Amino acid sequence: MLVDGFGFSTILPLAKHVRALGRRHVEKRLNWLDFRLAWEVSDKQLSWLEAEKIYAEVGDNIYV
């Protein structure tokens, strides 16, 4: 089972009060979840840490 939270983990949760920031936050979390799910069903030639590093640097889903 894979569980991912969408909560705001910042000291000043501006995304909670500014609609545009909230939307961006949710979109980023959905993209991250999509990437994680794609990795889960992949052949896993890369470890999760390696895939996560590439995602953080490139910012795109390498499994699409």
Instruction: Over range 22-41, report the average pLDDT.
Output: 85
Length reported for the chain = 64
Report which DSSP code applies to 13: -
Cα 59 to Cα 6, 12, 19, 41: the distances in Å are 18, 24, 23, 19
How far from chain centre, in Å, is Cα 43?
Answer: 20
**What is the model's pLDDT at position 3?**
56
pTM score, whole prediction:
0.66
* % the chain with pLDDT above 90: 9
For the cut 80, the answer to whether the pLDDT of residue 56 exceeds it is yes
Instruction: Over range 3-26, report the average pLDDT.
Output: 67
Report which DSSP code applies to 5: -
